[in-house]
Structure 1
């Protein structure tokens, strides 16, 4: 019997995108899942959008007060019943075989933690030609160097890892989560594009270098309780490996065209 997948989706004022995200879950060829949406006091019509989906596998919960993405993910993880934990933000999209192929990859190889490639789309769901990949294996040390997995691509085995709860930091809370998971097992890459990351005007990748430095420092100092010198050192390491990721693992048009051809061949 197929094992249950718990899909963690925090939401905040993404009513114009969340329907596409939910539809991408409903379209999965692997059908034994629960989608746990924790809404962080949205002021738009997110709740109405979710109510339009008549599927008992969708669980919608609202925070009593605005608490941030970390708290929302923590709450969803406490509610999760699945063996497998997967993550999808409320403006991103999965390809139909994402769950099926990733679970098959993990079961076949005995992996407990994995991620995949993804491509970027804009606010109108148009691809911009960027494909992001990463190292084939990320150890605990490798994860300290940089946050290699895209949140929308990650899956781990909750029976092996256990319950993960992280500090309530505004940014990099997904990185804090992978650092916890990597304490127990390495992370492995399924070298296929199975997700689409929506690059919006307010996304972290569009912020200044000083903001990125601040958020990495706060991760190490506040979420991981490192000393001031160690936090600065790890922040510097993150910046160096971030530049390496852009140079080695962010691919553009030629790779994107290859992926489009692969998708056509599958159809």
Structure 2
């Protein structure tokens, strides 16, 4: 039984998939299995996967696309490792990624899900997400602050805290999962090591399915806020998005005032309800209002 199972769904990633697969098979930590799920590709990716000859690779081919959430759930079902790592068919893992994450998980048995820092350009900058669970839980009100293809999940946690992807949130299944887990007894973390090159290209889901992704994300944020007993109006939700995208100008009263009112209201409600760590929530709003990323 391998220590680590890597799940890689592939859909029409022909220009990048060989490099992505190679970055896993060349890892400094070799006790792994790589589960490649080709989800009905039509661009030649299927043939490239067929041509891989490595005993550590398991290949699954869907005759038609079932979607990434269904593919990932299939991977979770068959993964044998103590840890389950995610990988996409268009990204590149640092060659010591699995070694570093497995060591972190070994040293922190209370952590169920661990993401990493990353770059979107070979030359940087390194993007560091919120690190500890309470920070992550607060920042999830604003954006998906765990990079999906960078995560490592403890296999024993999949049943304990219900780690499954919900097909009802198309193109935001990871965002839905992290927000749900943040209130389910799971413990989330990011480590500040740059272990992923997260490739930006026109074929990404965030570009090809932006409207559907935004619709799912809105439902997810509203559900996350429901732990405070709040349901935002359309105007308030627009302010939240401006905060999340660092579009509030602190030097213009027309931009700053409505966002600050919303922030103060939510923080005040939380001081009574205590759904989120108060200090973490205040810091997240403060940084959004000041247009400062988490790190």
Alpha-carbon contact 1:93-1:195 (below 8 Å) kept? yes
| Among 137, 141, 163, the residue aligned to 2:137 | 141
CA distance in 1, matches of 2:210, 2:14: 29
Is structure 2 residue 145 aligned with structure 1 residue 153? no
Alpha-carbon distance between aligned partners in 2 of 1:116 and 1:219, rounded to the nearest angstrom? 22
**What CA distance in whole angstroms lies between the structure 2 residues aligned with 1:66 and 1:132?**
32
Runs of 4+ off more than 4 Å: 204-212, 218-222, 225-228, 230-239
Task: Give unmatched runs, 5+ long, in structure 1.
Answer: 122-126, 251-267
Is the Cα–Cα contact under 8 Å of residues 40 and 63 in structure 1 kept in the other structure? Answer: yes
CA shift, 1:239, in A, is 5.5
Whole-angstrom CA distance in 2 between matches of 1:189 and 1:92 = 18
Q: Which has the higher contact order (CA 8 A, sep 6+)?
A: 1
Distance in structure 2 (CA, Å) of the matches to 1:210 and 1:42: 23
Corresponding position of 1:124: none
Q: 2:36, 2:233 → 1: CA distance?
A: 33
Report the Cα offset of residue 45 of structure 1: 1.5
Q: Between Structure 1 and Structure 2, which shows a larger proportion of strand residues?
A: 1
Q: Which has the larger radius of gyration?
A: 2
Task: Name the TM-score, length of structure 2 as normaliser.
Answer: 0.71
Do the aligned partners of 2:5 and 2:80 also contact (CA within 8 Å) in 1? Answer: yes
8 Å contact kept, 2:37–2:62: yes
Q: Deviations over 1:214-238 (max 9, x none)?
A: 231254689xx99994696778646
Query: Which residue of 228, 239, 248 corresponds with 2:293?
Result: 248
Work out the CA distance in 1 between the residues paired with 2:217 and 2:144: 10
Structure 2 CA distance, aligned partners of 1:209 and 1:137? Answer: 29
Mapped partners of 1:238, 1:74: distance in 2 = 30
SS at match of 1:35: strand
Q: What are structure 2's unaligned runs of at least 5 residues?
A: 247-286
CA offset digits 1:114-142 (Å, max 9, x no partner):
11100113xxxxx2533211112133732
Deviation for aligned residue 1:177: 2.5
Classify the secondary structure of the residue corresponding to 1:115.
strand
Q: What are the residue-to-residue correspondences of 1:83-162 with 2, within 5 Å?
A: 83-110=82-109, 111-121=111-121, 127=122, 129-139=124-134, 141-142=137-138, 144-145=140-141, 146-162=143-159
Which shows bigger deviation, 98-107 or 152-161? 152-161
Q: Distance in 2 between matches of 1:143 and 1:217?
A: 15
When residues 28 and 220 of structure 1 are mapped into structure 2, their CA distance, relative to the original with a 3 A threshold, is same
1:27-69, Cα deviation, whole Å (9 max, x unpaired): 1111111111111111122122112221121111122432211
> Relative to structure 1, is the Cα distance of residues 235 and 143 closer, same or farther in structure 2, using a 3 angstrom cutoff?
farther
- Output aligned runs, 1:1-267, within 5 Å: 4-110=3-109, 111-121=111-121, 127=122, 129-139=124-134, 141-142=137-138, 144-145=140-141, 146-162=143-159, 164-168=163-167, 169-182=169-182, 183-206=184-207, 213-219=214-220, 229=231, 237=240, 240-243=243-246, 247-249=292-294
Whole-angstrom distance in 1 between the partners of 2:206 and 2:292: 15
User: Within 1, Cα distance between the matches of 2:240 and 2:130?
Assistant: 17
For 1:160 and 1:202, the matched residues in 2 are separated by 32
Shift of 1:144: 3.9
